[in-house]
């Protein structure tokens, strides 16, 4: 009986350690966002769901302008503060099904489902304005973000679903 209880305690501890390491392998420690591996994994699941759903999404790539200058002038601590502030501002805009990942350095990717009451182009402009304002509020000269957005419409016909599946290699 004691041996079984001890085994259960050890297995539970191992499971918690495994779960923590699995999570850490998919998260960026500095910003708390998904890292490249975590984002790619989550994106594959979203792409699979898109084949069977009717929702489109915005895929947003953001790169921080003048970030290197902040690091060089004020130090890496200031750069870390900028990255955390950017991630926090982006996170506040996300819905429960949206994704945010740090691809490396000062590059982030967001996967955002469009609001039903707003066209995707306007939503992309609002995202850019919000993120730029958050960075400008930090007070560093020329700090902002450049952003590119792809509006992905859901496939409407079976042939489009096959094409999407082929492109995404699912």
Q: Looking at residue 116, which CATH number applies to its domain?
A: 3.30.70.270
Does residue 89 form part of some domain? yes
Burial of residue 84, with CB atoms counted within 10 A of its CB: 0-12 exposed, 13-18 middle, 19 or more buried: middle
Q: Is residue 18 part of a domain?
A: no
Residue 6 confidence (pLDDT) above 50: yes
- Going from the C-alpha of 76 to that of each of 58, 81, 87, 92, 115, the distances in angstroms are 31, 8, 16, 24, 36
Q: Does any domain span residue 17? A: no
Residue 49 domain flag: yes
Which pLDDT belongs to residue 140? 95
Domain count across the chain: 1
Intra-chain end-to-end CA distance of the chain, in Å = 48
pLDDT tens-digit profile of 150-161?
A: 988 776 655 544
Mean pLDDT on 123-138? 95
CA dist 169 and 20 (Å) reads 30
Task: Tell me if 25 is assigned to some domain.
Answer: no
On the 0-12 / 13-18 / 19+ scale of CB atoms within 10 A, 94 is middle
Of residues 96 and 16, which shows the higher confidence score? 96
Q: Could you tell me if residue 11 is inside a domain? A: no
What percent of the chain shows pLDDT beyond 70?
75
Pairing of strands 57-65, 99-104: unpaired
- Which secondary-structure segment (H or E) carries 24? helix 2-24
Q: Catalytic residue positions? A: 106
Q: What is the pLDDT of residues 106-117, one digit of tens each?
A: 999 999 988 878
User: Quick check: is 6 in a domain?
Assistant: no
Q: Domain of 110?
A: 30-168
* CA 56 from centroid of its chain's CA atoms: 17
Dist. CA 130–CA 128, nearest whole Å: 6
The pTM of the full predicted model, rounded to 2 decimals, is 0.77
Instruction: Give residue 33's Cα distance to chain centre.
Output: 6
pLDDT tens-digit readout, 17-68: 555 555 556 799 999 999 999 999 998 888 777 666 667 788 999 999 999 9
* pLDDT score of 116: 79
* Confidence at residue 13, expressed as pLDDT on a 0 to 100 scale: 60
**Does 38 fall in a domain?**
yes
Mean pLDDT score across all residues of the chain = 83
Which are the contacts of 10, defined by CB distance < 8 A and separation ≥ 6? none
């Amino acid at each position: 009986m004691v041996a079984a209880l001890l085994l259960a305690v050890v297995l539970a501890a191992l499971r918690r350690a495994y779960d923590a390491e699995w999570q850490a392998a998919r998260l960026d420690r500095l910003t708390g966002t998904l890292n490249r591996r975590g984002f790619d994994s989550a994106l594959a699941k979203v792409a699979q769901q898109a084949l069977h759903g009717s929702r489109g999404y915005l895929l947003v790539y953001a790169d921080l302008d003048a970030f290197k200058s902040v690091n060089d002038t004020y130090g890496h601590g200031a750069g870390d503060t900028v990255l955390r502030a950017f991630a926090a501002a982006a996170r506040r805009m996300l819905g429960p099904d949206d994704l945010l990942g740090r691809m490396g350095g000062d590059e982030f990717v967001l996967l955002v489902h469009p609001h039903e009451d707003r066209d995707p182009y306007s939503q992309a402009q609002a995202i850019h304005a919000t993120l730029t304002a958050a960075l400008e509020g930090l007070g560093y000269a020329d700090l902002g973000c450049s952003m590119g957005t792809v509006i992905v419409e859901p496939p409407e016909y079976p042939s489009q679903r096959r094409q999407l599946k082929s492109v995404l290699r699912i």
